[in-house]
Chain A
Amino acid sequence: MIRFLKYTWFQVGSFGLLLALVPLVVTNRYYLNVMIFIGIHTLLVVGLNLLMGYAGQISLGHAAFFGLGAYTSGVLTATYKLSPWPAMVIAVVLTVAVALLVGVPALKLTGYYLAMATLGFGIIVYICFKELVWLTGGPSGLVGIPKLSIGTVVLDEPRTYYYLVWAITLGAIVLSLNIVDSRVGRALRAIHDSEPAARASGIYTARLKIWVFVVSAIYASVAGSLYAHFITFISPSSFDFMFSIKLVTMVVVGGMASIWGAVFGAATLTVLPEVLAVFHDFDIVIFGLILMVVMIFMPQGLTRGALDLWEKYRLQRDVAGGSLSGG
């Protein structure tokens, strides 16, 4: 067990070191911006993965929590001139309240029904962002969101913001790794594998599902606040149904029930649209294709799928080699 702990800390440490070194090498603002988006998406996907990958509860409305974080931070700072950090905390509190309100009835549902309920929730929140013009600025968006600052230092450079986003995201990764490897994490996986057996083992599955829903909503809310203060302008289209689907794709591509897979999934699907920019509006088609291909050929996700393929290849090579030397 202690060896395993050290192993985890080694992973986190080397990943953190790598992240810390990136801005020293990469000075191009565009690349740094992409890296910041990867960080924000990773935060979202790590949270969603706790809900989907571990507890096995699907959410097709996660963009709504991302949007709640972004809009609460945006409105409180741009319109009401509150300073960003308290606004971020208020955003989290509000998101928790909404998650409880939605989660308590919705998580009584399973499978397709839960998917439909969260889908509906996502659409309702999106419409609110669009129609509450007096509050959110409506479809034309909300402008004038200030940059974040720590003390008197304003984080208006991509490099400084990069460090902030990744520090928070790395912290969230550590917390998630700890949760997953604990009594609570086992209980979450138990719900996924057999809910009756989980209940018979004394797990209050209904309450645990609500808690993991709330935790993943908190991750999304913080990601939303970071997003709002980064681009300083938000509009409803960033929080629509398509973004929820994109998040689910990131979880699936990275691999269900894998924290590092979530990082990989977020990175791949954040970089991909930039690379696929030549396809314009067809990038969503490509997303759909990737999702289909991964689900059919690598239902464990790309990371695990690639490992399995490698194992298979090695096994075949060994078998082939063995038969050669034997024959």
Chain B
Amino acid sequence: MMVEEMNAPLLKADNLSKSFGGIHAVRQVSFEVPTGQIKGIIGPNGAGKTTLFNLITGFYAADAGAIYFNGRTLDGLVPHQVAERGVARTFQNVELFDRMTVLENVMVGRHPKSRAGFISAAFRLSHARREENNIINKATEILNFIGLSERAASPSTSLPFGLQRVLEIGRALATDPLLLLLDEPASGLNAGETRELGRLICRIRDSGITVVLVEHDMSLTMEVCDQILVMDYGRTLAEGSPRDIQQDPEVIAAYLGDEPLA
């Protein structure tokens, strides 16, 4: 139903609020992410962007408001349950599994789609072996998609930083998400790597996965996003297409400064 309906919201945040002590990190933020789009969330440091991700993925519980995903509330779910529902994410400071290979990192991402437990693993029961093969195949497929198959057996720490970010996206894709949340994926990347990343994000969207992107890098946001939400001091400042945002006087005055965006 939902998929057939054009631009039905996959994710809907309704009046979300979260404060830490006296700091209101997120204040009554509402927005929708339509299926199949790339949504950008921009704003200066401390605007509440990462807090928003942590609320959606169940790392924090909201003080008020609700989050609906795929027609159901995410209220009260903890991170692994949110992942099982089909929301995957990356982290601002690249959280890879440092003592694993590139392939193994992606294989961990298959966790919610597999079931083998201690017993079937310890005795190598046939269904666990089959499942393990499926995990390897799927992970290999994903490494091909993100262009890291030649580094499959390398330790993840041996990758240059830009590729570590790509690998983290690959691990998130392994969970077969409906929604992918990217927390500042371009930070620390050079211009060439950022363009490459932009193309990857578009390919992910084209494969049917909805993307939400928190970003500082304007070139990436303006280029790939269908819709942009601007946050400041935990509030929604503006929402619209990249063109609207670039021309929004309030955004220009309050956040971007007086100079118009390139």
Which A residues are closer than 8 A to B by beta carbons? 1, 175-176, 178-179, 182-187, 189-190, 192-194, 196-205, 211, 215, 257
Q: How many Å from the CB of B87 to the closest CB on chain A?
A: 9
Binary contact track B92-136/A, C-beta < 8 Å → 1, others 0:
000111111000100111111010111001111000100111011
Are A189 and B99 neighbours in the complex by a CB distance under 8 Å?
A: yes
Q: Which residues of B contact A196 (CB under 8 A)?
A: 59, 79, 91, 95
Q: How far is the CA of A178 from the CA of B171 in the complex (A)?
A: 23
Q: How far is the CA of A51 from the CA of B143 in the complex (A)?
A: 30
In the assembled complex, 25 residue pairs joining A and B whose CB atoms fall closer than 8 Å, in A order, are: A175-B122, A175-B123, A178-B122, A183-B116, A183-B135, A185-B121, A186-B104, A186-B108, A187-B108, A193-B96, A193-B100, A194-B96, A194-B97, A197-B91, A198-B108, A199-B59, A199-B78, A199-B79, A200-B89, A200-B95, A201-B108, A201-B171, A202-B83, A202-B112, A203-B80
B11 CB within 8 Å of chain A: no
Q: How many Å from the CB of A232 to the closest CB on chain B?
A: 31
Q: How far is the CA of A188 from the CA of B131 in the complex (A)?
A: 18
Are A194 and B95 neighbours in the complex by a CB distance under 8 Å?
A: yes
Are A205 and B80 neighbours in the complex by a CB distance under 8 Å?
A: yes
With CB as the reference atom, state the residue of chain B lying closest to A194.
B95
The one of A175, A190, A257 in contact with B108, judged by C-beta atoms closer than 8 angstroms, is A190
With CB as the reference atom, state the residue of chain A lying closest to B99.
A193
Are A202 and B111 neighbours in the complex by a CB distance under 8 Å?
A: yes
Are B98 and A193 neighbours in the complex by a CB distance under 8 Å?
A: yes
Q: How far is the CA of A36 from the CA of B81 in the complex (A)?
A: 46
Are A200 and B132 neighbours in the complex by a CB distance under 8 Å?
A: no
At the interface, is chain A mostly helix, strand, loop or mixed? helix
B175 CB within 8 Å of chain A: yes
Are A203 and B108 neighbours in the complex by a CB distance under 8 Å?
A: yes
Are B57 and A215 neighbours in the complex by a CB distance under 8 Å?
A: no
Q: Which residues of A contact B174 (CB under 8 A)?
A: 201
B55 CB within 8 Å of chain A: no
Are B99 and A257 neighbours in the complex by a CB distance under 8 Å?
A: yes
Q: How many Å from the CB of B51 to the closest CB on chain A?
A: 14
* Known contacts A200-B57, A200-B79; A184/B136 CB under 8 A: no
The one of B84, B123, B135 in contact with A178, judged by C-beta atoms closer than 8 angstroms, is B123
Q: Which residues of B contact A202 (CB under 8 A)?
A: 80, 83-84, 109, 111-112, 175
Q: Which residues of B contact A201 (CB under 8 A)?
A: 83, 108-109, 111-112, 171-172, 174-175
The one of B95, B107, B117 in contact with A197, judged by C-beta atoms closer than 8 angstroms, is B95
Are B97 and A184 neighbours in the complex by a CB distance under 8 Å?
A: no
Q: How far is the CA of A261 from the CA of B123 in the complex (A)?
A: 22
Are A203 and B136 neighbours in the complex by a CB distance under 8 Å?
A: no
Q: Which residues of B contact A197 (CB under 8 A)?
A: 91, 95-97, 168, 171
Q: Which residues of A contact B175 (CB under 8 A)?
A: 201-202
Q: How many Å from the CB of B44 to the closest CB on chain A?
A: 24
Are B116 and A182 neighbours in the complex by a CB distance under 8 Å?
A: yes
6 tightest Cβ-Cβ pairs between the two chains A and B? A202-B112, A182-B121, A202-B83, A197-B95, A199-B79, A193-B97
Q: How many Å from the CB of B179 to the closest CB on chain A?
A: 13
Most chain B beta-carbon contacts within 10 A, residue among A190, A197, A200, A204: A200
Q: Which residues of B contact A184 (CB under 8 A)?
A: 116-118, 121
Are A190 and B83 neighbours in the complex by a CB distance under 8 Å?
A: no
Q: How far is the CA of A327 from the CA of B174 in the complex (A)?
A: 52
Q: How many Å from the CB of B127 to the closest CB on chain A?
A: 12
Q: Which residues of B contact A194 (CB under 8 A)?
A: 95-98
Are B100 and A189 neighbours in the complex by a CB distance under 8 Å?
A: yes
Q: How many Å from the CB of A275 to the closest CB on chain B?
A: 33
Q: Which residues of B contact A257 (CB under 8 A)?
A: 99
Q: Which residues of A contact B96 (CB under 8 A)?
A: 193-194, 197
Q: How far is the CA of A176 from the CA of B118 in the complex (A)?
A: 10
B88 CB within 8 Å of chain A: yes
Are A215 and B78 neighbours in the complex by a CB distance under 8 Å?
A: no
Q: Which residues of B contact A215 (CB under 8 A)?
A: 118
